[in-house]
């Protein structure tokens, strides 16, 4: 049975010299080191094909049993963005000012200077909402199990962020909690749950970012050789 379902095709692999691999890897690292989460956006428009490329890049991600348990909704419609901003800010007010956030979490967020106001949800030309599919739905309505959903969608989102950066655009990994309002506003079915809301665009002219740094390699990498 398994034999019948298992088909292969040749793998088109391009072997590179170590020197070229290092050059390419270093170039990508140098570029990614300039990526930052942006919270002040310009309203300059971004052509739809760029969003399409970013989502297509995300969709190349590996996923548990190749279930591809994700769905992307790209919003540029101003009234919908306004609706999303209102709902997100209501949740964020509960988080920051209404006692929903534990004190330790607020302390961890302090260096980032974030608060309940999210004007970028209206300013950014695009909001890309990523939904995780907690299970699939067969034609007869029965449930199809998905595997490693969080890992799979997390990897897809990482590739999305990379594509956005590579194209010279900026984004923010935004997670107002809870985000179920996105199902309602964007008419997504009940087997999908909001995962991340990415505003996408260009930074505002006077945009600043928190003065934070990444851990050094020797703190995060152990070799066993």
Q: Which residues make Cβ contacts (< 8 Å) with residue 87, sequence separation at least 6?
A: 181, 182, 185
Q: Count other Cβ atoms within 10 Å, centred on residue 90.
A: 14
Q: How far is the CB of 27 from ligand FMN (least distance, A)?
A: 19
Per DSSP, helices labelled H in 97-180 are: 103-109, 120-123, 149-166
Based on CB atoms, which residue is closest to ligand FMN, 21 or 175? 175
Q: How far is the CB of 98 from ligand FMN (least distance, A)?
A: 16
End-to-end Cα separation, the chain, in angstroms: 41
The site for ligand FMN (CB under 6 A) is made up of 36-37, 39, 112, 114, 172-175
Closest C-alpha among 182, 184, 201 to residue 72: 182
Q: How far is the CB of 197 from ligand FMN (least distance, A)?
A: 8
Based on CB atoms, which residue is closest to ligand FMN, 136 or 193? 193
Q: Which residues make Cβ contacts (< 8 Å) with residue 103, sequence separation at least 6?
A: none
Q: How far is the CB of 175 from ligand FMN (least distance, A)?
A: 4
Based on CB atoms, which residue is closest to ligand FMN, 51 or 157? 157
Chain-centroid distance of CA 76 in Å reads 17
Q: How far is the CB of 192 from ligand FMN (least distance, A)?
A: 18
Based on CB atoms, which residue is closest to ligand FMN, 36 or 135? 36
Based on CB atoms, which residue is closest to ligand FMN, 52 or 115? 115
Q: Which residues make Cβ contacts (< 8 Å) with residue 42, sequence separation at least 6?
A: 123, 201, 202, 203, 204, 205
């Amino acid at each position: 049975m398994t034999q019948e379902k298992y088909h292969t095709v040749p793998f088109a692999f391009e072997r590179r010299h170590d020197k070229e691999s290092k050059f390419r890897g270093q170039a990508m690292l140098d570029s990614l080191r300039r990526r930052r989460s942006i919270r002040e956006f310009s309203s300059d428009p971004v052509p739809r094909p760029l969003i399409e490329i970013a989502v297509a890049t995300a969709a190349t991600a590996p996923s548990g049993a190749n279930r591809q348990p994700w769905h992307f909704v790209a919003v540029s419609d101003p009234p919908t963005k306004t609706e999303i901003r209102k709902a997100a800010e209501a949740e964020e007010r509960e988080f920051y000012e209404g006692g929903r956030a534990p004190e330790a979490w607020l302390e961890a967020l302090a260096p980032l200077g974030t608060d309940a106001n999210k004007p970028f949800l209206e300013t950014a030309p695009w909001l890309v909402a990523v939904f995780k599919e907690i299970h699939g739905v067969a034609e007869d309505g029965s449930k199809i199990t998905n595997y490693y959903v969080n890992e799979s969608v997390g990897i897809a989102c990482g590739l999305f962020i990379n594509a956005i950066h590579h194209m010279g655009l900026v984004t923010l990994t935004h997670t107002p909690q809870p985000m179920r309002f996105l199902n309602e506003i964007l008419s997504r079915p009940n087997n999908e749950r909001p995962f991340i809301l990415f505003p996408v665009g260009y930074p505002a002219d006077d945009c600043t970012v928190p003065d934070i740094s990444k851990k050094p390699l020797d703190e995060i990498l152990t070799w066993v050789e």
